[in-house]
Structure 1
Amino acid sequence: MTSHVPTPPRVALVTGATSGIGAEAARRLHQDGFAVLLTGRCGERGQAMARELGSNTACFVPADLTRDGEPDRLLDCALDRFGRVDAVVNNAAADHTGELLNVPTDEIRDTFEINTFAAIAVLQAAGRAMRQSGGSIINVTSRLATVGVPTMSVYSASKGAMKALTAAAAVELAPYNIRVNAVAPGMTRTPLYEAWVSSHKDPEALARKVADGIPLGRLATPQDVAGAIAFLASPSADYITGITLPVDGGYTAQ
């Protein structure tokens, strides 16, 4: 009698997976049948996420992606733990606001270190790990890679670089059957957003103003963005590469 060997599950690596969009992307991919390696800087939240998803199909590896070699170490951890890597969600990022003419050079460098340079390093490590079997890389950019908003110029530039890289990398990595796409969230109801709104004198008025500027009349939820990420990681998107998918309620269509 021939014994049946179960096919190993698909495996995803999610950076910035301890809160907001990254956490919801990890939950959604896990729900869709992926084993998930979570990474981020907050060990307490990361371990809690891994326990929530289940120790057999999820694990947390703390990492500072701005350190040399960390992205390769994460891919090695995923391969050692699960035996393969099918999708990488390149989500880790840092926010930045400030009047452009007064932004110190060190703040510009710090923003690009995590939002651009570290994200490029993750893409490179993912591509090397996927060269033999193919896979899907999903960069998380922003509506601000396309439109201008005062005080957000440095952040916009860091995300705009990733939007351009997505298209170029998709063409370069296509011979390896590696798909590279991006999602570009609009204003999303994350803890960072809640903290920003709460810091204003009239949070309710500000929230209404933000929603009124979006054609669909509401902010995105992390689940909205996670759904787009899950689609791009799925077999339904097997012939899609090089795109940036807006998840912004029509904001950039105006």
Structure 2
Amino acid sequence: MTTPDHTSARVALVTGGTSGFGVEIAARLRADGMRVAVTGRRPPVGEAVERLGDALFVAGDLTERGAPERIVGEVVDAFGRLDVLVNNAGRRHAGLIVDNPVEELVDVFALNTIAAMAMTAAAARAMIPTGGGAIINMLSRLASSGVPTLTTYTASKGALAAYTQGAAVELAPHNIRVNAVAPGMARTPLIEDWLADQPNPDRALADTLRDIPLGRLATPEDVAAAVAYLASPEAAYVTGASIAVDGGYTAR
């Protein structure tokens, strides 16, 4: 693993960075030489502690008023700047349209969409004085395809996809690139929860694999590699794009 140069290394903040994709993304950015901060409602535990190493943990609920500004402020206070934001925090939601109470709809959009928008705004304010940066929004293969019972989740990610393109154009004059990664199914807590809710989890997984041309689930490493590219100088001319890391699911 590369040891970051704390006098010049770029700084990355990964929301939802204490579990699932977030841990692998944060670990990959550390390995690429960045100073890394992660945020979550609870501190990392177990294997995540080792994977995150010396990453700065900032506690916070992104849906609370003022939390995005406070979190970005703490990162800038600690490291002096912010160069990369990965909007990874999110929650899955399953339920029939006719059965979804409005309160659930509000909660899903509050974290999956509005929190990411608020974090983007707070990060942009920090990036502009230092010459720009990169923002990566985590979408889903479902942002561009309909699946029964997952319509609310799909809508929240679809809204974030549209926001990504608008933000890319608006922030381009400040040299802030805004892109997205749209993962397919992988063995993360979100997917484990979804499988656990199915009447026959093994059959649900088998049915899912039949719909994936490459015939396997994504790994956290697959997703982290795409994020690392968009965060890197090699993607300096890439903005407003979404990389599908879904084994060909949305290409069918």
The 1:6/1:222 distance shift into structure 2, 3 A limit, reads: closer
**What is the Cα deviation at residue 222 of structure 1?**
1.2
SS in 2 for 1:43: coil
* Residue in 2 that maps onto 1:249: 247
* Residue in 1 that maps onto 2:93: 96
The 1:51/1:60 distance shift into structure 2, 3 A limit, reads: farther
The 1:185/1:6 distance shift into structure 2, 3 A limit, reads: closer
Alignment of 1:43 with 2:40, yes or no, is no
* Residue in 2 that maps onto 1:146: 144
**What is the Cα deviation at residue 84 of structure 1?**
1.2
Provide the identity percentage.
54
Superposed, which structure 2 residues align to 1:119-134 within 5 Å? 119-132=116-129, 133-134=131-132
Superposed, which structure 2 residues align to 1:137-216 within 5 Å? 137-200=135-198, 202-216=200-214
SS in 1 for 2:78: helix
For 1:75 and 1:139, the matched residues in 2 are separated by: 16
* Residue in 1 that maps onto 2:222: 224
* Residue in 2 that maps onto 1:53: 52
SS in 2 for 1:60: strand
Deviation string, structure 1 residues 170-229 (Cα, Å, up to 9, x no partner): 000000000000001111211232343345454333322211110000111111111100
For 1:157 and 1:199, the matched residues in 2 are separated by: 20
* Residue in 2 that maps onto 1:8: 8
User: What is the aligned-residue RMSD (CA, Å)?
Assistant: 1.7
The structure with more radius of gyration? 1
**What is the Cα deviation at residue 48 of structure 1?**
7.0
* Residue in 1 that maps onto 2:81: 84
TM, length-normalised to structure 2: 0.93
For 1:36 and 1:6, the matched residues in 2 are separated by: 11
SS in 1 for 2:57: strand
For 1:205 and 1:12, the matched residues in 2 are separated by: 39
Letter in 1 for 2:116: A
* Residue in 1 that maps onto 2:33: 33
Is the 1:50–1:60 contact (alpha carbons within 8 Å) kept by the matching residues of 2? no
**What is the Cα deviation at residue 103 of structure 1?**
0.7
Is the 2:24–2:51 contact (alpha carbons within 8 Å) kept by the matching residues of 1? no
**What is the Cα deviation at residue 78 of structure 1?**
1.1
The 1:165/1:155 distance shift into structure 2, 3 A limit, reads: same
Q: Number of paired residues?
A: 247
Is the 1:14–1:89 contact (alpha carbons within 8 Å) kept by the matching residues of 2? yes
For 1:27 and 1:103, the matched residues in 2 are separated by: 36
Q: 2:59 aligns with which of 62, 65, 83?
A: 62
For 2:34 and 2:42, the matched residues in 1 are separated by: 22
Alignment of 1:107 with 2:104, yes or no, is yes
The 1:50/1:71 distance shift into structure 2, 3 A limit, reads: farther
The 1:83/1:193 distance shift into structure 2, 3 A limit, reads: same
For 1:124 and 1:36, the matched residues in 2 are separated by: 19
Deviation string, structure 1 residues 94-137 (Cα, Å, up to 9, x no partner): 11110012211110011111111111100100111111220000
Q: 5+ unaligned residues in a row in structure 1: which ranges?
A: none
**What is the Cα deviation at residue 51 of structure 1?**
5.6
Q: 5+ unaligned residues in a row in structure 2: which ranges?
A: none
TM, length-normalised to structure 1: 0.92
